[in-house]
Amino acid sequence: MAVFTIVSDADARALLRHYDLGEFVALRGIAAGIENSNFFLTTTQGEYVLTVFEVLTAKQLPFYIELMHHLAQRDVPVPQPQTRLDGARLSTVLQKPAAIVNRLPGGYEPAPSLAHCALAGQTLAQAHLAAKDFNLSQPNLRGLAWWEQTAPVVLPYLTPALAELLSNTLAEQRAMALTPDYKTLPFGPAHCDLFRDNVLFAGTQTEPQMGGLIDFYFAGCDTWLFDVAVCVNDWCIDLATGIVKPAYATAWLSAYASLRPFTAAEHRLWPSILRAAALRFWISRLYDFYLPRSAQTLKPHDPTHFERVLQQRTVGLIPDLPKED
């Protein structure tokens, strides 16, 4: 369980006095995540999730909280931040910022089918379009600037061949960001971390229903194509090898494009953006693996997974983006 801050029942009861969510019933830590402390919170009115933020600051958090509120108000299935009696949606627990959101139905699907992929792709497109008029802005904090800053920290841990792969890919991304095509890519609030464990499904394995998109705390303004690439690099691959499964990529990308067709510039930059998405998570996993933070119990993700994904996006199959009819 990645719990950095221990929240007691008494702490939860004190927090609930600032909300109209009923009386405290139970609090249980969630065995997931490496950035925040998360708890299932049960009250006499319903089921919620309490998040205590360990890295993000109170100054940064309004973007994430208000983005979820904005999307929920537009019927995108995301956690709805609960509003306090004083009108705020951000609280403090043990001198750290915190928020309560409603608990969505369903659970995550570790082995998604084509139907799961299509639902996820369609819902992400829905979220992108609904966020077009969101009036707050914050960069993707794990974007190119962070890669530039963090790469020198992790490079000493790599073999010469892997250090070359990382350095060459970073140079490619640096150059791409200066191109005219890149500057025209559709851009706006993006989830930036929509792995399969950040989507909940209700229904059955054969007939899934969308439960919702969760964990927006890596969200930021970025190209929407980067958001798509993050998903394809997780949802549509063989996990053991990082190789793309074409049918899964087609299901995911076609469902997304049915709501938001891809532009010509997106088609041209797609291979590089896929490598960008792989590089982002390779660097972050290298950092967490070799320079871990202390936690109650915390096992960093294996960085070699995204090493394989990046290698495959460099020399292997690149799935095609669907074209408009």
The SS3 call for residue 195 is coil
Q: Within 13 Å, how many C-alpha atoms sit on residue 303's CB side?
A: 19
Q: Which long-range contacts (CB under 8 A, 24 or more apart) does 250-253 make?
A: 250/319, 250/322, 251/114, 251/115, 251/117, 251/118, 251/121, 252/117, 252/118, 252/120, 252/121, 253/121, 253/228, 253/319, 253/321, 253/322
Two structure tokens written together for 145: 């600037």
**Whole-number percent of the chain with pLDDT over 70:** 96
Q: Does the pLDDT value for residue 36 go beyond 50?
A: yes
Cβ contact 194:108 at 8 Å: no
Higher pLDDT: 179 or 2? It is 179
pLDDT of residue 1: 42
CA-to-CA distance for 313 and 174, rounded, in angstroms?
17
CA-to-CA distance for 296 and 313, rounded, in angstroms?
36
- Convert the pLDDT of each residue in 201-259 to its tens digit: 999 999 999 999 999 999 999 999 999 999 999 999 999 999 999 999 999 999 999 99
- Domain 9-102 identical in fold to domain 114-315: no
Q: What is the CATH number of domain 114-315?
A: 3.90.1200.10
As a whole number of Å, the end-to-end CA separation of the chain is 47
Mean pLDDT of the residues in the chain: 94
Q: Does the pLDDT value for residue 297 go beyond 50?
A: no
Task: Write the burial class of residue 51 (CB in 10 Å: 0-12 exposed, 13-18 middle, 19+ buried).
Answer: buried
Q: What is the CATH number of domain 9-102?
A: 3.30.200.20
pTM for this structure?
0.93
Two structure tokens written together for 20: 């109209």
CA-to-CA distance for 273 and 25, rounded, in angstroms?
46
Domains of the chain, residue spans: 9-102, 114-315
- Convert the pLDDT of each residue in 116-155 to its tens digit: 999 999 999 999 999 999 999 999 999 999 999 999 999 9
